[in-house]
Structure 1
């Protein structure tokens, strides 16, 4: 993990002045930089984790940027680890194939294609495709699975290169990557270049409105440079000649938007008008919407910390499930350290045998966690809590299953 970072003094999207603090989580380790046990005593890079609001385009963004190559060149997140996410990808591929009439003469590109979780559906359908993925270890898994994948960061230069070799794409997919991009204008320019005059760009991103509603502060971490509303996203895309023509609300990641855009005029769908209306009614173009979130975060952290201290005082053995980045934000913001939590289970072999950044809680297999016989298991990736709870119950766990965001509660499964 690189120790390089730099402060942000102007909006990375529009260059406007950065205004009020949205949320300040202090200084912490990078959420997906898992620690080998032999490095447990070594200094661990830590950086400020604070979000501010642009006074002009209202983009919520970190005011300290950590070197992207240090974060993403070797990455510990594999999309295929979640069965529900694989099903989401399958349904998306089928819907877009039908909507755009994709076939053997088409070309689909996914940016930040991870381990090929989505493009494998296009491969299976005989639709030519290409993945662009900066993490070499993850891209290799995709290629081994039969998904054509190039290992590189995406931007205007990469787009021009692909177009020169393969032509424009009929569909450019950018799912859950926009938050991860430090140079958003270069990235958006690349999307526009790759789609050309007729292609469609599909972007999925967690919706800022849902983040605020659900006090989803644990989705704030150094890998997420910005937190998007439709308002700020439309402003960015329009700067690069892309018109949003439809928006769909999704349940993923606590509430996301699927935004479809094109250089061509495709009209405006009802979903786009609906989300625009909601954001206007909530006042996303003013100041009040962004105020008070930090105080709500403090209340959630106090509730979690109070529960954990009480459970430990009673002698309860606490485990956790899901070595997810959001869980690391929660644990580190609350000051949790090993051995307050026995271990965290995760199905990803890339994380097993390592320690969580900051807290240094060991990551083990689900079977190893259950063998420790915890009284309670804290499910950290609450967005797939029901899926995880069902798996744990099926494997015989009879203790309490809980989540901490937006408040401490038991998961009924």
Structure 2
């Protein structure tokens, strides 16, 4: 394996999660007796450029031609996008003649707010089913995987973009340099690129191993993202720490030719990464122990629930949840079923662990003793939505960043039921 950014062959093993199925390949009932392919999930670090990455064993086409994830099912994510649009319109002075292009625009969760502001926009979304939902929402959407050819076609038809948005896609492309060139092609010579991506600082220091799955090919610090964008003529001029997905970074980049100087908060985040040891290989080597601790505490808790005849169900069927379930070996003997707001997943089964996925309303009817929340990064939103679980004394349990209960009794202390 060669580093996909710098081509070096010196890659250090950071975390081996074994072999798992692709996290969004949910199973139908007819699939349960068929073979299920699995792929190694092994996180490595390049000793040269420090890019954290996994092998590209599946292609984006395998995952995103038809996709199970619809952004708009998360109320907090839609609000996050609305706030971003409002703030950015003011910051950049965007108006009716401006053009905003979002790459991997999903179901229009963000661009719907650009449309509402009366600003020209276009979404580029590879998944046909998700892109159709965006069109139904009134968001102009092109169904395509972004590459340089597609970028040139978009510019010929619509002009260069004043703002290109790439939220939660920069980790999903194995050809970093080719994708970066396509972003640069979309962008006007005085334009802005905004990227949001999960921060490797949180992954490593907080043991957020469940964000590692096959559709995430690499994991960025501000340092490594800056190096990747510099390779295609883009300079990171600002960076922000944002709370989404358990801790992300928002990068603001512009064409090199503008000669813009980075802000102080860009350097502040670089300093945080350096203090955590992430500008050297040593800072990454504690991730394995943190990951094993999470697994042991969660399994201990679930086994004690089983011994006490407490019924456990799940909430959510996110990609990260499937990494958690497979790595921990959690199946229906420890978690009867899970629920999800996305109707696409109802009646299907989680990949690998084959746990049934049902409608959210089942929880209120069923009144289980424990609800294990798999999209733990949405704790604030979901604690409010699931507050009714405490009506019958049920426990609402989050597995990360450490195992904890936010409602119901008895309490869990150090992985022990009290």
Normalization by structure 2: what TM-score? 0.94
Which one of the candidate residues 265, 268, 273 is aligned to 2:262?
268
Give secondary structure in 2 for the equivalent of 1:300. helix
Residue of structure 1 aligned with 2:345, choices 333, 338, 351: 351
Please, which of 362, 366, 371 is the counterpart of residue 356 of structure 2?
362
Question: 5 Å matches for 1:2-401?
Answer: 9-263=1-255, 264-394=258-388, 396=391, 398-401=393-396
Q: Does 1:405 align with 2:397?
A: no
CA RMSD between the two structures: 1.3
Q: Give the Cα–Cα distance (whole angstroms) in 2 for the partners of residues 218 and 372 of structure 1.
A: 28
Instruction: Give the deviation of 1:389 after TM superposition.
Output: 1.9
List gaps (5 residues or longer) in structure 1. Answer: 1-8
Map Cα deviations across residues 224-253 of structure 1 (whole Å, 9 max, x no partner): 111111111000101111011111110111
- 1 CA distance for matches of 2:75 and 2:37? 33
Name 2:413's counterpart in structure 1. none
- Equivalent residue, structure 1, for 2:415: none
- Given that residues 242 and 248 in structure 2 are in contact (C-alpha distance below 8 angstroms), is that contact kept between their aligned partners in structure 1? yes
Structure 1 residues 391 and 24: alpha-carbon distance in aligned structure 2, compared to 1, 3 A threshold: same
**Cα offsets for 1:186-230 (capped at 9, x unmatched):** 111111111131110000011111111221000101111111111
Shifted more, 134-143 versus 159-168: the winner is 159-168
Q: How many residues in Structure 1 have an aligned counterpart in Structure 2?
A: 405
Q: Counterparts of 1:255 and 1:43 in 2: how far apart (Å)?
A: 36
Q: Deviations over 1:36-70 (max 9, x none)?
A: 11211111111000110011110100024212211
Shift of 1:386: 2.3
In 1, Cα distance between equivalents of 2:180 and 2:190? 16
Work out the CA distance in 2 between the residues paired with 1:85 and 1:10.
35
Question: 1:158: Cα distance to partner?
Answer: 1.3
Aligned residue for 1:6?
none
Q: Deviations over 1:87-132 (max 9, x none)?
A: 1000000011001111110000000000000000010111000000
Unpaired runs of 5+ residues, structure 2, are 409-418
Q: Which segment drifts farther, 400-409 or 252-261?
A: 400-409
Distance 2:272 2:218 in 1: 21
